[in-house]
C-alpha cells in the first residue's frame, strides 16, 4: 500500500498549475459527500446494509424476497415499474432533506469550484452521486456537471418521461403520501431528528399530472435503466483531450461510470483520492514510496497513476493549501466537519 506524502501533494499542485496541464476532469463518488452527513449507501451501516424489507410496502412476497436477497432491488426498475413505494419509502428522508437544504457541499466539492475559478482548467465534474451537492457550488457552470446517475433534486415520470411536477410540489406529495419507514424502526421511547411523526401510517400513490400513473420520482437512474445520454455525449467529447483525471471517493466498481478511467489518453495523469487503494483491475499502476532517493523521485515524476490516501476533505484541503487557495474558501458554506478542518488549517498559517 502506498501512503500519501507531502511530495505527492506538491507534485500534483505543480502539475495543475503548469502549462502542460490544460484540461482536468473529476470523477467523484460517495466519499466526497460523507463530510456533509449524507450516508454512504454501500458502506456498513448504510441504506443497503440496514434495509428492512419487512417494513416496506410490497405488493407481494416476491418483491420482498427480491429485496431480502439483494437490497439494491429497492431502487430497481424491476420493482419500481409495478410498485413505486419501496423506492419512495427508502428515499423519503433523502428527498425531504434535500428540499430543506439539510446538507452542504464539502471541501471536496468546493475544490472543483476553486479549480474552475482559479485556473479555468476544469473541463467536467462527473459525479456518481445523486445528492445534488455539486450544484450548490455556484462558481461551477451547470453544463460542467454531469450527474452520471441522475439527481435527487430534479423530478420526472418514469412512465411518460415528462417533468410535469416541480420539485417543491413533489416533495409536498412525498411528505403527505409516503410513510416514514425509518420512524417504524425507532423504539417507542426513542426520538430521532431523521424521522417524521406526522408522516402517514400507510403510503398512497404520487401520481404524474400528465399520464396519471404512479411513476413520479427524482430523476435518478434505477438499476436496470440506461444512463443519461449526456454521460455518453460528454465523455466522447471530453476524455480524448484530458491531461489530468482526479478520481475521488469512489470504489470504481460501478459500471459504466468507471469506464471514464480507462478511456482517457495514455498520457493523461490519473490521481485517486480514497481511503483505500482501488482501480488496479482497471489498469491503475501505483508506485511505492520507499527511501525518497533521487531515483525514486524521478520515478514518481514519470509515474502516470498516483494514490492519495485519506478522506476526500483531508486530501483536497492539503491540495488547496499547496495551491495557495485557502483564503478563497467560505467557511459559512461548509458543513460543520469541513469548516472545522479549514479553520484549523487557517489557524496554522
Q: Which residues are catalytic?
A: 149
Q: Are 165 and 155 in contact (CB under 8 A)?
A: yes
d(CA 217, CA 79): 13
User: Bridge partners of 146?
Assistant: 126
CA-closest candidate to residue 269, choices 88, 83, 13, 5: 13
- Under 8 Å CB-to-CB from 213, ≥6 apart: which residues? 157, 159, 160, 207
Instruction: Count CB-CB contacts under 10 A for residue 296.
Output: 15
In the chain, alpha helices (H): 6-17, 47-50, 61-69, 77-80, 85-99, 107-119, 167-177, 181-184, 229-238, 294-302, 312-322, 336-348
Residue with cell 498549475: 17
Helix (H, G, I), strand (E, B) or coil at 117: helix
Q: Are 126 and 143 in contact (CB under 8 A)?
A: no
Instruction: Count CB-CB contacts under 10 A for residue 50.
Output: 13
Amino acid at each position: 500500500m502506498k501512503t500519501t506524502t507531502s511530495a505527492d501533494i506538491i507534485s500534483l499542485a505543480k502539475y495543475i498549475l503548469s502549462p502542460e496541464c490544460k484540461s482536468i476532469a473529476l470523477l467523484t463518488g460517495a466519499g466526497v459527500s460523507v463530510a456533509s452527513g449524507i450516508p454512504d449507501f454501500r458502506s456498513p451501516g448504510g441504506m443497503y446494509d440496514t434495509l428492512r424489507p419487512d417494513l416496506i410496502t410490497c405488493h407481494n412476497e416476491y418483491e420482498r424476497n427480491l429485496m431480502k436477497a439483494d437490497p439494491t432491488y429497492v431502487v430497481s426498475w424491476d420493482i419500481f415499474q409495478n410498485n413505486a413505494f419501496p423506492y419512495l419509502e427508502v428515499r423519503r428522508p433523502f428527498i425531504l432533506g434535500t428540499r430543506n437544504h439539510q446538507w452542504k457541499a464539502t471541501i471536496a466539492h468546493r475544490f472543483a469550484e476553486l479549480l474552475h475559478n482559479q485556473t479555468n482548467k476544469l473541463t467536467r465534474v462527473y459525479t456518481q452521486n445523486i445528492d445534488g451537492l455539486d450544484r450548490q457550488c455556484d462558481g461551477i457552470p451547470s453544463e460542467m456537471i454531469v450527474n452520471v446517475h441522475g439527481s435527487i433534486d430534479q423530478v420526472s415520470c418514469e412512465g411518460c418521461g415528462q417533468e410535469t411536477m416541480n420539485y417543491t410540489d413533489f416533495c409536498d406529495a412525498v411528505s403527505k403520501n409516503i410513510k416514514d419507514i425509518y420512524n417504524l424502526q425507532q423504539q417507542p421511547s426513542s426520538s430521532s431528528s431523521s424521522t417524521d411523526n406526522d408522516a402517514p401510517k400507510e403510503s398512497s400513490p404520487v401520481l404524474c399530472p400528465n399520464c396519471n400513473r404512479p411513476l413520479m420520482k427524482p430523476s435518478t437512474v434505477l438499476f436496470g435503466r440506461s444512463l443519461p445520454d449526456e454521460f455518453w455525449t460528454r465523455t466522447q467529447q471530453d476524455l480524448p483531450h484530458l491531461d489530468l483525471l482526479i478520481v475521488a471517493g469512489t470504489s470504481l466498481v460501478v459500471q459504466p461510470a468507471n469506464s471514464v478511467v480507462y478511456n482517457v489518453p495514455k498520457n493523461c495523469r490519473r490521481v485517486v483520492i480514497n481511503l483505500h487503494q482501488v482501480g488496479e483491475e482497471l489498469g491503475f499502476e501505483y508506485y511505492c514510496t520507499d527511501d525518497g532517493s533521487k531515483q525514486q523521485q524521478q520515478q514518481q515524476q514519470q509515474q502516470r497513476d498516483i494514490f492519495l490516501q485519506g478522506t476526500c476533505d483531508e486530501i483536497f484541503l492539503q491540495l488547496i493549501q499547496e495551491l495557495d487557495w485557502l483564503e478563497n474558501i467560505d467557511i459559512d458554506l461548509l458543513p460543520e466537519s469541513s469548516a472545522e478542518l479549514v479553520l484549523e488549517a487557517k489557524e496554522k498559517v
